[in-house]
Amino acid sequence: MTARFKNRLAIGLLQFFVFFFCIAISADASQATHDGGRVLFISSYSYAWNTVQMQIEGIEDGLGENIVLDYEFMNTKRLDTAESRQLFYDRLEYMFSVLEPYDVIILGDDAALQFALEHRDTLFKDIPMVFEGINDEELAARAMEDPLITGVIEKLSPERNIDLGLMLIPDARKVVAVLDNSMTGEAERKRFYSYEDMYPNLEFTEINASILTTAQVRQAIYAVSTDSILIYVSMAEDVSGKRYTDEEAVRLLSSVARVPVLRMVEGGIGEGLLGGNVVSMYKSGEIAAQTAMEIIGGKSASEFEMMESPNIYHVDADVMKRFEIDLDVLPPETEILNKPTTFIERNKEALVPGLILIGVLILIMLWFIFDNQRRRKLMKELEDARKIMESASQHDFLTGIPNRNKFMSDLNGLILAKRPCTVMMMDIDDFKKINDTRGHTAGDEALKQVADRLKEMASQILTPYRFAGDEFIVILQSSQGKIVEKAAYQMRQIFSKPFILGGEKTKVCGSIGIATYPKDTDDLEQLIVCADDAMYQVKKSGKNDFAFYKRKEDSE
């Protein structure tokens, strides 16, 4: 064997080992990616609950990139029976029999934790669990006795929210909690009443949705006096068995309550509820996920103490404004949704000359770089401006409905096409008196309200226009008697309800004259004159009615 052959053999063996070494490394990396971990999140409720969505966002952000995350929803807010729980059990049992095992199960809220404890030895044997959003501390403490279970309790704070309520309503005499008989409701009811002794000057009471109908719930919420602190805790069902989603409960509360509604979790803030000292459902989910990651990494659940949810002050500035409450009364660390910006915040770029100079230079550079785009944009803006000007030339500035020019154009088109149509001219009775006694502002209000009511009549065959002054005119693309008469009655009904002028209810009347093409005339100008003549006949006959045009010979 020559030296040259030996060298080639050695190089070949070296390449062979390097090749298989690379394959092994690649396989290990692939296996590591595949074996990142499997987590199942079991929620007591459904994805429709905004608090559940926040929990899921926190869980997803707290887990690593290589984690497989699945979701299952018990939906106990909608359906909580022995049959539904058995169906959920059967589903999980089948799922566990065909899927790879999970490394950790995250349990959201009390019903999921209770379900897991009941079926610990059958469905979930030897699987580490992390709970979050738990209201029942006794249930959580019992779960912590299992060395494979740890988690985060939902530490709602009635005390901080009552204190916040006293900041908002200093003369409060009552504190009212909206509750139900759900598992969450029962746990929070016990906690709520435990604070009675701390506030001897406040009367503690509740609205229990589970023993009231929907109408009774609405009445009870509306009846909460303005010297009360109202806290929404839980409202999943009423006595009839009607199930509320969180959004439905929030809408009901915010639409009827005469006081700001506090809440101890994030959901509903920005949708009508004021907010309060809230549990961050996002943070609770994130903490649970991070704990699950440490367990997947090799740490035992028994090494974790039971954790409390992070709480923050979070309120909606729009609701504060609605109830005329100053933002200055809030704790300094409060997170404020819809917070109004200051003049400096809105105009800070305009106040800094250096930034203005930089902006000008950037604009000059962009001018040359994107000249073609600028030209196209300019052409589009010119076209948009042309359309706006065209629309403005055909619409009345005060009322927003088509104007006289548009009317003449539309009517001329119908006559040229020889399409039978009807013109109805309407004049507000004693309009000058409205202007003289109530002022021109009231007159403008009357004109706008007439226009609004005419717009409600508009259809494919009926178009209203402002003709001049207090005169309005309608084109009805029909000359059939019944259709015309029905439209005439509808126009007269415009004045059946009082108008609001200067904040006061006022009776306003109008006279209507009707002429038809080609029955009365085939000339555009003459058709308007005919409708005008018919209208003035109504004026002479007592006003506030309608009349059809009649030729003099017909009248005789």
If asked whether residues 333 and 372 sit together in one domain, one would say no
Higher pLDDT, 65 or 545: 545
Residue 438 sits in which domain range? 394-555
Dihedral-angle region of residue 506 (phi above 0 means left; psi in -120 to 50 means alpha; beta otherwise): beta
If asked whether residues 462 and 327 sit together in one domain, one would say no
What band does 346 get if pLDDT is binned at 50, 70 and 90? low
Interval 93-132: pLDDT, tens:
999 999 999 999 999 988 999 999 999 999 999 999 999 9
Cα separations (Å) of 429 from 366, 472, 476? 60, 12, 22
Mean pLDDT calculated for residue range 19-35: 41
If asked whether residues 215 and 263 sit together in one domain, one would say yes
Q: What pLDDT score was predicted for residue 12?
A: 52
Q: Is residue 459 part of a domain?
A: yes
Q: What pLDDT score was predicted for residue 555?
A: 52
Cα separations (Å) of 165 from 108, 392, 417? 29, 51, 69
Mean pLDDT calculated for residue range 4-23: 48
Q: Residue type for 337, please?
A: L
Q: What pLDDT score was predicted for residue 29?
A: 40
If asked whether residues 405 and 550 sit together in one domain, one would say yes
Interval 143-195: pLDDT, tens:
999 999 999 988 778 899 999 999 999 999 999 999 999 888 888 899 899 99
108-112, 223-227, 363-367, 500-504: which has the minimum mean pLDDT? 363-367
Q: What pLDDT score was predicted for residue 311?
A: 86
Looking up tokens 């300094």 gives 332
Q: Is residue 432 part of a domain?
A: yes
Q: Is residue 66 part of a domain?
A: no
CA nearest to 493, candidates 476, 510, 515: 510
If asked whether residues 377 and 405 sit together in one domain, one would say no
Q: Is residue 102 part of a domain?
A: no
CA distance 454 to 32: 71
Q: How many distinct structural domains can be found in the chain?
A: 3
If asked whether residues 382 and 401 sit together in one domain, one would say no
Q: What pLDDT score was predicted for residue 281?
A: 84
If asked whether residues 194 and 328 sit together in one domain, one would say yes
If asked whether residues 380 and 434 sit together in one domain, one would say no
If asked whether residues 527 and 387 sit together in one domain, one would say no
CA dihedral of residues 49, 53, 58, 61 (deg, nearest 10): 170
If asked whether residues 427 and 328 sit together in one domain, one would say no
Interval 503-528: pLDDT, tens:
899 999 999 999 999 999 999 999 99
Give me the half-sphere count of Cα atoms (radius 13 Å) on the Cβ side of residue 281.
21
Q: What pLDDT score was predicted for residue 361?
A: 81
What band does 70 get if pLDDT is binned at 50, 70 and 90? very high
Mean pLDDT calculated for residue range 204-226: 94
Q: Is residue 486 part of a domain?
A: yes
Q: What pLDDT score was predicted for residue 459?
A: 93
Q: Is the confidence at residue 424, as pLDDT, over 70? A: yes
Q: Is residue 481 part of a domain?
A: yes
Instruction: Give the three-class secondary structure for 515.
Output: strand
What is the percent of the chain where pLDDT is above 90?
61
If asked whether residues 508 and 480 sit together in one domain, one would say yes
Q: 265-301 b/e with 16+ CB inside 10 Å = b?
A: bbbbbbebbbbbbbbbbbbbbbbbbbbbbbbbeeeeb
Q: Is residue 437 part of a domain?
A: yes
What band does 7 get if pLDDT is binned at 50, 70 and 90? low
Q: What pLDDT score was predicted for residue 345?
A: 62
If asked whether residues 383 and 502 sit together in one domain, one would say no
**Average predicted confidence (pLDDT) for the chain:** 87
Question: What CATH number does the domain containing 186 carry?
Answer: 3.40.50.2300
Q: Is residue 214 part of a domain?
A: yes
Residue 147: is the preceding peptide bond cis (ω within 30°)? no
CA nearest to 55, candidates 46, 68, 67: 46
Interval 365-419: pLDDT, tens:
887 787 778 778 887 887 777 777 777 788 999 999 999 999 999 999 999 999 9
CB 498 within 8 A of CB 453: no
Question: What CATH number does the domain containing 492 carry?
Answer: 3.30.70.270
What band does 343 get if pLDDT is binned at 50, 70 and 90? low
Mean pLDDT calculated for residue range 422-446: 92
For residue 71 the two structure tokens come to: 């979701």
